[in-house]
Chains A and B, each alone.
Chain A
Amino acid sequence: MDFIRNVREHLPEQFLNSIDKQLKLPIGLRSDGTMVSLEEVLESQTEARLWPELEEAQRAEITAKRIELQPKFNLGLIGRGVLSKEEAISEVKEKTRIGRRLIDIENRLVTKLIAEIEEKAVLNK
């Protein structure tokens, strides 16, 4: 996990542009409980537990915030209809089945993103 801390200068600008939306979103928790964004992690040696080290409840907290911070959010569900941002946040906070699915989706996204950042940072060091 240390591999993605303070590696911004090693990442290609084109790649950073492609993950622009992700940079502002939280990816970990400091010891005082505040969230840390991906951008902060990439730019410093910030002390924080990052996504892979977090427990389910903490991942739920971060997932809810990540959804909240998106300018627009709708999730069309064939089976139920369209889930709004507010409904999605509520599902995550209440840890419903759909809420757990949303956490799983964030897990897929963040895990791949971290792996991609590690790979690119190593290549460009």
Chain B
Amino acid sequence: MTARQTSPSHKVEAAATALAIEANFDAITKAAFSYRRRKVYRRLRKRGMKVVLLSGKKAVRQTVASAATQDQTVLLTGVGHGKRRTFCGYENEPIFRVGQYAVEEIRGKVIHLLSCFAADGLGRDFRAKGCRAFFGYREEFAVPFEDLSELDELAEPFFGSDAEIDLAFAEGVPLKEILERVRRKFDENIARLNKLGKRESSAVLESNRDLLIALIADGDALPQSAF
């Protein structure tokens, strides 16, 4: 990744590092990891980012705290279960809890958590403590499936829509424009699923789209009317 100086929100440092936290221990977090390993981290590396991957048993508080305080970490992206005030890693061990992490772990970073509720509690706490931006969901990110092969088939529209956050950031898209781009990706995948006759999946993906928010700069979510 080359340094870009067009605006503060567009600036990406040389040798920037993405810290990827993957709970990767049950059907849904494994499916997300499988997709992101194949389709996201590879593309981040192609963009010149270094990806530090903490997956499964490595996705625990101590290793994350240590890696997150490295100077070059500009993006913190993760998949894990959680609650309004907590983001969990392997086997639901809490990694970030409101008020129980060092500010240095998140200050100045862009944070994207594919986890439930994180947007309202933890996301606002991250913003208040100085992260550059937070992307997350106000409720659970849902994926409907009949069996594991369907879960694999739906990885692209579901996890791919969400992953557009990381990809847009790596491409240097200004932070305030990322949510709009991600929503367009969701819309494309919603239309594609409809066209394939997968109306049930399409409705769930639409519901996920409407729960995604971005907290940027002043801590306020961008208004829905902007899209």
Contacts and interface: CB of A to CB of B under 8 A. Distances in A.
A54 interface: no
B146 A74 contact: yes
B116 A72 contact: no
A102 B146 CA distance: 16
Contact of A79 (B82, B145, B147): B82
A76 interface: yes
Contacts of B139: 79, 97, 101
A98 B199 contact: no
A79 B115 contact: yes
B28 A108 contact: no
Interface string A69-90: 0011111111111100000000
Contacts of B114: 78
A78 B141 CA distance: 5
Contacts of A74: 144-147
A22 B202 CA distance: 14
A108 B203 contact: yes
Contacts, number: 89
A75 B28 CA distance: 9
A76 B143 contact: yes
A1 interface: no
B204 to A, nearest CB: 6
Contacts of B151: 76
B143 A72 contact: no
Interface in B187-227: 194, 197, 199-200, 202-204, 206-207
A19 B199 contact: yes
Report which residue of A22, A78, A80, A97 has the largest number of chain B beta carbons within 10 angstroms of its beta carbon.
A78
B140 A80 contact: yes
A81 to B, nearest CB: 6
Given A18-B197, A78-B115, A79-B115, A105 B203 contact: yes
Interface residues on B, range: 20 to 34
A124 B141 CA distance: 39
Contacts of B199: 19, 22, 109, 112-113
A38 B76 CA distance: 46
Contacts of A71: 146
Report which residue of B142, B145, B147 has the largest number of chain A beta carbons within 10 angstroms of its beta carbon.
B142
Report which residue of B79, B82, B147, B204 has the largest number of chain A beta carbons within 10 angstroms of its beta carbon.
B204
A81 B20 CA distance: 20
A98 B139 CA distance: 9
B81 A79 contact: yes
Interface of B: 26-29, 31-32, 79-83, 114-117, 139-147, 151, 194, 197, 199-200, 202-204, 206-207
Given A79-B83, A97-B139, A109-B199, 14 more contacts: A72-B147, A73-B146, A76-B28, A76-B143, A76-B151, A77-B28, A77-B116, A77-B141, A78-B80, A78-B114, A79-B81, A101-B207, A112-B194, A112-B199
18 contacts: A74-B146, A76-B27, A76-B145, A78-B28, A78-B80, A78-B81, A78-B114, A78-B116, A79-B81, A80-B81, A81-B28, A98-B140, A101-B139, A101-B140, A104-B207, A109-B199, A112-B194, A112-B203
